[in-house]
C-alpha cells in the first residue's frame, strides 16, 4: 500500500528541518545521517528512501530555494524578463522568506555550490552584451558572486542595510561598473 503524498512530504520535511536545526550549531559538512534521523525521529532506512546522503538533502533544500525564486518571479512578474533591480529585489525577498535556511545554505562552506546553481538557473537575468569574452565572463562572475556574498552577509548582520539601501548599492555597481564593462567592445 502506497503512502499518501502528504505523509511522504511531511517525512521528507522532517529530515530537512532536522538538518537545518543541526546546521545552526554544526558545520554542514560534519552533520551525520544518524544525527538527522535521531532528531527527526526516524531510522536510517527511512532516510534513505528520501535521500542518498546528507549532500542530497542539501541539494534538495537548494532546489526548494530555486523553486521559490521561480515561483516568486512567476507570481510577481508573470514570467517576463526582469530588470537588474527587479531580479535582485526578488532574490532578497526570497531570502527573507526563509532567512534561517537561506543563511545556512549561503554559509561559507556551501555558498559557492548554491551560487553556481542559482547562476545556472537565472543566468538569463544577467545582461549579456555583445560578444562573450573571457574578460566578460570574469566581470560577470565577480559581480554575481559579489552581490550574493553581500546579500548573505547582510542577511546575517545585526547592522544590516535596509533592503532599499542594499538594492541601491547593487544598482550603483551595476550602472557604474558592470554594465560599462559588459558593453565594451573589447
Instruction: Classify each residue of 14-36 as buried b or exposed e, where b means 16 or more C-beta atoms within 10 Å of its C-beta.
Output: bbbebbbbbbeeeebeebebebb
Q: Is the predicted pLDDT of residue 128 greater than 60, yes or no?
A: no
Instruction: Classify each residue of 88-113 as buried b or exposed e, where b means 16 or more C-beta atoms within 10 Å of its C-beta.
Output: bbbbbebbeebeebbbbbbeeebeee
pTM exceeds 0.75 for this model: yes
C-alpha cell at 124: 538569463
Tell me the mean pLDDT in the region 122-139: 71
Q: Is the predicted pLDDT of residue 1 greater than 60, yes or no?
A: no
Nearest one of 155, 50, 158 to 104, comparing CA atoms: 155
pLDDT digits (tens, 9 = 90+) for 48-58: 999 999 999 99
Contacts of 94 (CB under 8 A, 6+ apart): 65, 68, 69, 72, 102
Please tell me the distance from the alpha carbon of residue 77 to that of residue 150, in angstroms, as a whole number. 24
Please tell me the distance from the alpha carbon of residue 151 to that of residue 108, in angstroms, as a whole number. 13
Please tell me the distance from the alpha carbon of residue 24 to that of residue 69, in angstroms, as a whole number. 23
Contacts of 171 (CB under 8 A, 6+ apart): 84, 85
pLDDT digits (tens, 9 = 90+) for 94-118: 888 888 898 898 887 777 788 888 7
The answer to which of 8-22, 33-47, 85-99 has the lowest mean pLDDT is: 85-99
C-alpha cell at 17: 528541518
Using pLDDT thresholds of 50, 70 and 90, give the confidence band for residue 70.
confident
Using pLDDT thresholds of 50, 70 and 90, give the confidence band for residue 153.
confident
Residue that the C-alpha cell 552584451 belongs to: 129
Amino acid at each position: 500500500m502506497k503512502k499518501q503524498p502528504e505523509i511522504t512530504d511531511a517525512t521528507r520535511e522532517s529530515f530537512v528541518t532536522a538538518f537545518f536545526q543541526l546546521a545552526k550549531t554544526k558545520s554542514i559538512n560534519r552533520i551525520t545521517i544518524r544525527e538527522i534521523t535521531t532528531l527527526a525521529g526516524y531510522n536510517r532506512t527511512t532516510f534513505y528512501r528520501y535521500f542518498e546522503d546528507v549532500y542530497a538533502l542539501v541539494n534538495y533544500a537548494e532546489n526548494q530555494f530555486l523553486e521559490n525564486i521561480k515561483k516568486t518571479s512567476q507570481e510577481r512578474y508573470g514570467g517576463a524578463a526582469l530588470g537588474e533591480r527587479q531580479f535582485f529585489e526578488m532574490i532578497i525577498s526570497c531570502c527573507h522568506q526563509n532567512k534561517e535556511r537561506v543563511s545556512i545554505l549561503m554559509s561559507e562552506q556551501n555558498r559557492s555550490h548554491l551560487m553556481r546553481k542559482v547562476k545556472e538557473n537565472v543566468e538569463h537575468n544577467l545582461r549579456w552584451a555583445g560578444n562573450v569574452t573571457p574578460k566578460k565572463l570574469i566581470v560577470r562572475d565577480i559581480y554575481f558572486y559579489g552581490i550574493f556574498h553581500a546579500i548573505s552577509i547582510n542577511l546575517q548582520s545585526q547592522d544590516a542595510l535596509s533592503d532599499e539601501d542594499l538594492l541601491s548599492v547593487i544598482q550603483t555597481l551595476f550602472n557604474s561598473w558592470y554594465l560599462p564593462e559588459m558593453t565594451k567592445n573589447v
